[in-house]
Amino acid sequence: MAGLGSDRLRLLFVQEADVRLTELGRLLLELEQRADDLELVRSVYRELHTLKGSAAVAGLEDVSQIAHGLEELVDDVRAGSRPVTPEMIDTLLRGADRLRGAVTATPAAQEPPTSKRAQVRPRPQGGSGATLGTLLEPSPEPPVVRGVPPAAATSPRPDGGSGLILVPVERLEELTRLVGETTSAHLRIGRMLKDRFDVDPGTCNEFNELARSLNNLHDSTMRTQMVPVSTVTDQLHRAVRDLSRAQGKDVRWETAGTDTELDRGVLHRLSDSLMHLVRNAIDHGIETPDERRRAGKPEQATVRLHAMQLGSEVIITVTDDGRGIDGGAVEHEARRLGIETDGLSDDERAALTFHPGFSTARFVTDVSGRGVGLDVVRTHVEGAHGRVDVRSEPGTGTEFRLIVPITVAVLRCLLVEAGGQSFALPFHRVLLTQAHNPDNVTYAEGRPVVWVDRHPLPVHQLGDVVGLGETVSDGPVVGLTDGSQRHAFAVDRLVGQRDVVIKALSPLVPRLPAVAGASVEADGSILLVLDPPGLIQRARHSPRPDRPGGRDERPGAPGRSILVVDDALIVRELQRGILERVGFHVRVAGDGQQAIAQLAQEPTDLVVTDIEMPKMDGFALTEAIRSHPALANIPVLIVSSRSSDADRQRGLDAGADGYIVKSAFDESSLLTAVNRLLGTGS
């Protein structure tokens, strides 16, 4: 090890320990299923022994001693003096958590090194090794309550001599970027050959050979970022085990197809959602053994994850054989949220559970049922350009299906032109394309609609919706869906369909809901990839168009006044800007008392208020408005970061007419709520 400084040594240890601890966790879960497998016991022992030795070499005595204590326990098992019991596995898993905590607390694992978090865990007291009691101390961050992203997704198992090496992800991303630059330079050379030397690059063997090599290089580079689904299943297995034990349930974890590979970025986006679905299944889906016996089911329940590739997509299903989604609870919750359920199929009713704020949990627990969850799952899956659906049968079980592209880097797209600019539309969001037919267009609620499969779809000019000026196109119509809504867009022309290498926009650019990313074209130009859900939202909140016999309407009603109450200047001004742009007259107040004072001078048509403010909070302000005869009829909209059902209920009890959670807040949701309360616009 000569030549390696202590910092470098510890950094290497942290990288090695990350891999070994992942493997240790996997082995322990396997050992619980096969307690008599001596080879497994020996493997666990080897991992701990190696960790102990490596930690000592790196000068991390604390880590070494924890590993030593665990090693002694496993040595007893190896010698036959202790049996492998669930309690023993509990002890070892918690010990492994403590080990990981101690490793991640080393300065080498921290960034920046001077961070306050870079504290080495205190040395265990009481002798040379950690005692059983020490090992049973709770881990600072129990892994069961959090989704663990596949940070070590590229980490191979430490099966020595396998020829695998650890490579920082940044290097792979840099490699991908360089390949992109090289490809772009190649295309520029082709154009130069044509423009300056009048040579058709297609007739140049060297140029074509380089193109083939670059294509292969591109494919190989993309493959370096692919990881198997199994990189996240160990954490899920651990969650199933710990949660089911904590809740007295007997659950078997099954997986299939976990060698299916997909882009690391996609899997990273899904890992939290998968964890949520698995925890949800144990917490709400799976019954206790007694309940299952009474229902005529085997006492042991099953939660199953199955992954498979289908074309350019990967389908991951999470299935349980529990009680299924409670249809009555769904109906009740839908009524509470004002969602119409008449005419919905069973699957459509089950899909309501993805609605923001929807919770069918009877009791609020620290596991799930907080009204935030499945909508977040849908958001994350859609963030990976995927979709999620659910099927459930009462008494039989529930299946969630997550369908995502193998890589977000390459998307099959429909290319269109609108407003004089080319755009790509992700193909999995395209319902249909059809030629323009004036006889097929009519009006509903002030908006043009086209008939598609005997259903009227609202239709907008794509160029108008994205702000390229008012356009009138008699070009074809493209039907898009965001999973729950369908909308049609008229474009100038259809260009074709092909795979598009999509890149995220710079973090410097504000989030643009209607834009998914961009791609560099063969000619060096840039193609924008639009995001259909954002596009549909934007279209739905755009002004209604003029039409013969119609009247001019705007989403906001000029002259209507709104009082915005928030102690945060930036929030007040942002809300003011949004509302003024659509024609409202806006006043602002910094707290409830100021608001009351302003209302005493001049009433308003609507109050939009935060909850937590000095002097008088939003609840008190709402109650004060309701109790004042001259103000009692003013609608109140609460916009708060508090998302609990209790806060919503308290707001409604105080007399609020609407409640928006800031985490789910955007311009359109504010305008929708305001227009609904004032009876203006759309």
Strands 636-640 and 658-661: parallel
The smaller minimum CB distance to another protein, of residues 403 and 529, is found at 529
β partners of residue 387:
403
Q: Which is nearer to another protein, 292 or 460 (CB)?
A: 460
172 interacts with another protein by CB under 8 A: no
User: 149 with 236: CB under 8 angstroms?
Assistant: no
Closest C-alpha among 72, 93, 76, 85 to residue 22: 93
Q: Which of 172, 315, 452, 571 binds another protein (CB under 8 A)?
A: 571
The answer to whether 582 touches 555, Cβ cutoff 8 Å, is yes
Dist CA 240 CA 252 (whole Å): 8
Q: Is 577 in the site for another protein (CB under 8 A)?
A: yes
Q: Which of 101, 158, 180, 383 binds another protein (CB under 8 A)?
A: 180
Is 570 a binding residue for another protein by CB under 8 A? The answer is: yes
Q: Count of alpha carbons within 13 Å of 625, Cβ hemisphere only?
A: 33
Is there a contact between 436 and 490 (Cβ–Cβ < 8 Å)? yes
Total site size for another protein, rule CB under 8 A: 56
Q: Quick one: 72 or 573, whose CB is closer to another protein?
A: 573
Nearer to another protein, 246 or 526 (CB): 526
The letter for the amino acid at 109 is A
Helices (H), 355-485: 374-383, 462-465
Where does this chain touch another protein (CB under 8 A) — which range of 134-142, 491-499, 589-597, 608-616?
A: 608-616
Judged by CB under 8 A, the residue of 4, 120, 132, 185 near another protein is 185
Closest to 107 measured CA to CA, from 170, 171, 63, 47: 63
Q: Give me the half-sphere count of Cα atoms (radius 13 Å) on the Cβ side of residue 627.
A: 9
Scan residues 101-120 and list those touching another protein (CB under 8 A). none
Which residues in the 611-650 window bind another protein by CB under 8 A?
611-613, 639-642
Q: Among residue numbers 366 through 425, which ones bind another protein (CB under 8 A)?
A: 421
Instruction: Determine which residue in the list 139, 184, 497, 598 makes contact with another protein, applying CB under 8 A.
Output: 184
Binds another protein by CB under 8 A, chosen from 506, 549, 551, 552: 506
Residue from the set 81, 114, 162, 525 that interacts with another protein by CB under 8 A: 525
Tell me: does residue 247 bind another protein (CB under 8 A): no
Give the 3-state secondary structure of residue 673: helix
Q: Which of residues 44, 270, 275, 578 is near another protein by CB under 8 A?
A: 578
Q: Which residues contact 117 (CB under 8 A, 6 or more apart)?
A: 105, 110
Collapsing DSSP to helix, strand or coil, 476 comes out as coil
Assign 421 to helix, strand or coil. Answer: strand
Question: For 585, which DSSP code?
Answer: E
What gap in Å lies between CA 561 and CA 605, rounded to an integer? 5
Distances (CA, A) of 345 to 45, 309, 335, 386, 391: 54, 28, 16, 22, 11
Give the closest residue to 478 by CA, choosing from 427, 527, 519.
Answer: 427
Among 509, 597, 632, 646, binds another protein (CB under 8 A): 509
What x/- string results for residues 447 through 486 when contact with another protein is judged by CB under 8 A?
A: -------------------xxx------------------
Among 15, 139, 182, 598, binds another protein (CB under 8 A): 182
CB 321 within 8 A of CB 397: yes
By CB under 8 A, the residues from 118 to 157 that bind another protein are: none
543 binds another protein (CB under 8 A): no
Q: Nearer Cβ to another protein, position 322 or 426?
A: 426
Q: Which of 512, 620, 631, 652 binds another protein (CB under 8 A)?
A: 512
> Can residue 211 be called a binding residue for another protein (CB under 8 A)?
no
Helices 205-224 & 169-197, crossing angle to 10 degrees? 160
Q: Which of 138, 510, 559, 679 binds another protein (CB under 8 A)?
A: 510
The one among 667, 671, 677, 681 contacting another protein by CB under 8 A? 667
Q: List all residues 6 or more positions away from 226 whose beta carbon is below 8 Å from its beta carbon.
A: 261, 262, 263, 264, 406, 407
Q: Could you say whether residue 507 binds another protein (CB under 8 A)?
A: yes
Written as six digits, the tokens of 200 are 């058709």
Comparing CA positions, the residue from 625, 577, 581 lying closest to residue 603 is 625
Closest distance to another protein from the beta carbon of 265 (Å): 17
Based on the shown chain and the rule CB under 8 A, indicate whether residue 566 belongs to the binding site for another protein: yes
**What is the smallest separation between the CB atom of 661 and another protein, expressed in angstroms?**
9
18 binds another protein, rule: CB under 8 A: no
Choosing from 96, 514, 634, 678, the residue that interacts with another protein (CB under 8 A) is 514
Which runs of E-coded beta strand occur in 198-243?
226-228
Is 528 a binder of another protein (CB under 8 A)? yes
Work out whether 214 is an interface residue with another protein (CB under 8 A): no
N residues, the chain: 682
Find out whether 390 and 352 touch, Cβ atoms under 8 Å.
no
The span of 359-367, 385-393, 568-576, 587-595 binding another protein (CB under 8 A) equals: 568-576
Binding region for another protein (CB under 8 A): 177, 180-185, 421, 466-468, 503, 505-515, 518, 520, 524-528, 538, 566-568, 570-571, 573-574, 576-578, 581, 610-613, 639-642, 662-667
